Structure 1
Amino acid sequence: MLYVVGIGAGSRDGMTIAAESAVKRSELIVGYTKYVELLRKHFPDKNYASTGMKQERERVEYALKEASEKNVSLICSGDPQLYGMAGLAYELSESFPNVEIEVVSGVTAAFSGGAVLGSPLTHDFAVISLSDLLTSKEKIRKRLECSAECDLTIVLYNPSSKSRADYLQKACDIVLKHRSADTVCGYVRNIGREGEESRILTLAELRDTAVDMFTTVYIGNSETKVIGGKMVTPRDYKNV
């Protein structure tokens, strides 16, 4: 059995009961190095195997091979479907017909980070990764443009890195063509982990803010507001 497990932000409190149960039933835990180290703190007696960034295919193939003989958990941060390994596991599973796959959902950063800020995702929203490793810059630009134009709240994953230091600034410039500079925005860094920090700010301020790969960014829609120091996107229940 291969469990493809979403471990949430990596803290024990952020894991679902189903995720914890799958890990406990597994003889081997496989994952990206950082996420393996997060989980090792909570389950020190398990056997672990890890690979670094850009070794996703090798990681999944290894997990499938090992799952031919034992129960294995292939762990992902957040939810394993959203930028995780669930899809790739199914794609590669044809070479391992005797392995059964079960996807175990987890709480993705969009929601766990949103809870830190307040309730920015009460209405329709878009989730977009600014990483262009697997998606072209043109597709990312188009998705930002369309999401901004139709007034969706936007959640940005992977907003910056050493090689993409200006990507968040460029994304804000695209959104600023359709939103006012004082649009309510927010970000959360290290969600649910040691050193968690958050801030609510305007779109103009966000444009000039330095973030990293462990930061999740929220750009509000035209109705998003600050209530009691929290970022809130209303859904107009008063009109129901």
Structure 2
Amino acid sequence: MLYIVGLGPGSKNLMTQEALDVIKKVHTIVGYITYIHLVESMLNGKEVITTGMRGEIKRSQKALEIAATGKDVAIISSGDAGIYGMAGLVLEVASKMDQQIDIRVVPGITASIGAAASLGAPLMNDFCHISLSDLMTPWEVIKKRVDAAAKADFVICLYNPRSKGRPNNLREALDIILQSKSENTIVGIGKDVARKHEIEKITTIRDLDVTEVNMTTIVIIGNKNTYVSNGRMITPRGYTL
């Protein structure tokens, strides 16, 4: 059996019981080295196979090869494996194999949900996820999606918002959003969610300092009704109070 396991945002406390049970019982763990470090205290006596950045295809192939021998193996992914994680790729690779392998996707808490809980309740009405990484999706396509989400006044969760290789994507995305949303729109930032140096901050589009944002940050941009009360970011569901 091959398990595709979402580890959650980074704390064992935010891992699902199913994820904990799977990691405990499997013979082999396959993962990106950074994610292996998140669960290394649970890996004593297990075979651990790691790859570096952008080794996703190799990891998927290796996990499937091991599962094909009859071993129980888990390939791990931060957050939820089905949201910008390993689930889709593993299933794609498996679909091209002659051998049928039992595969189970084990869900995890994705970054937007972890950050939202720390910030308050910003996701109480319709929201969307958009990754600003253009490694897999052309930047022109991403910009159209950002524009459409802003025009529809979705709460927008921006994944992979800014890196050394993409220092300007977040600023450009915010400029697109400002064509449809006010500069006073509430923005929540969750950095290193559920990890040792976690940071939460509530600001506005106007006052957001993009230099504070990196690849371990989730940026949640509110809708026109999102507000702050007692230090909490709140998007109303629509109840009459």
TM-score (norm 2): 0.96
Among 134, 140, 144, the residue aligned to 1:132:
134
What's the counterpart of residue 53 of structure 1? 53
| CA contact 1:40–1:46 (8 Å) conserved in 2 | no
Distance apart, 1:25 and its partner CA: 1.5
| CA contact 2:30–2:73 (8 Å) conserved in 1 | yes
Using a 3 Å threshold, how does the CA distance of structure 1 residues 35 and 96 change in structure 2: closer, same or farther?
A: farther
Specify the SS of the correspondent of 2:10.
coil
Distance apart, 1:209 and its partner CA: 4.2
Give the 5 Å matches for 1:216-227: 216-227=218-229
Partner Cα separation in structure 2 for residue 41 and residue 188 of structure 1: 25
Specify the SS of the correspondent of 2:206.
helix
Partner Cα separation in structure 2 for residue 136 and residue 41 of structure 1: 38
List per-residue Cα deviations over 1:115-145 (Å, max 9, x = no partner): 0101100010010000000000011000000
Specify the SS of the correspondent of 1:21.
helix
| CA contact 2:23–2:42 (8 Å) conserved in 1 | no
Specify the SS of the correspondent of 1:57.
helix
What's the counterpart of residue 27 of structure 1? 27
Matched pairs, number: 239
What's the counterpart of residue 11 of structure 2? 11
More displaced 10-residue stretch of structure 1: 171-180 or 200-209: 200-209
| CA contact 1:12–1:42 (8 Å) conserved in 2 | no
Give the 5 Å matches for 1:209-220: 209-220=211-222
Specify the SS of the correspondent of 2:30.
strand
Among 185, 205, 208, the residue aligned to 2:207:
205
| CA contact 1:126–1:153 (8 Å) conserved in 2 | yes
List per-residue Cα deviations over 1:160-191 (Å, max 9, x = no partner): 11111111111110101111111000101110
| CA contact 1:168–1:207 (8 Å) conserved in 2 | no
Partner Cα separation in structure 2 for residue 117 and residue 108 of structure 1: 15
Give the 5 Å matches for 1:97-176: 97-176=99-178
Specify the SS of the correspondent of 1:213.
coil
Partner Cα separation in structure 2 for residue 109 and residue 96 of structure 1: 35
| CA contact 1:30–1:73 (8 Å) conserved in 2 | yes
| CA contact 2:130–2:159 (8 Å) conserved in 1 | yes
Partner Cα separation in structure 2 for residue 216 and residue 14 of structure 1: 17
Any stretches of 5+ residues in structure 2 without a counterpart? none
| CA contact 1:172–1:206 (8 Å) conserved in 2 | no
What's the counterpart of residue 84 of structure 1? 85
Partner Cα separation in structure 1 for residue 36 and residue 98 of structure 2: 24
- Whichever residue aligns with residue 39 of structure 1, its letter is V
Distance apart, 1:42 and its partner CA: 3.6
Among 233, 236, 239, the residue aligned to 1:237:
239
Partner Cα separation in structure 1 for residue 222 and residue 98 of structure 2: 44
TM-score (norm 1): 0.96
Using a 3 Å threshold, how does the CA distance of structure 1 residues 207 and 196 change in structure 2: closer, same or farther?
A: closer
> Identity across aligned pairs (percent)?
43
Distance apart, 1:87 and its partner CA: 1.2
Partner Cα separation in structure 2 for residue 228 and residue 46 of structure 1: 46
- Whichever residue aligns with residue 24 of structure 2, its letter is K
| CA contact 2:24–2:42 (8 Å) conserved in 1 | no
| CA contact 1:7–1:76 (8 Å) conserved in 2 | yes
Distance apart, 1:50 and its partner CA: 1.0
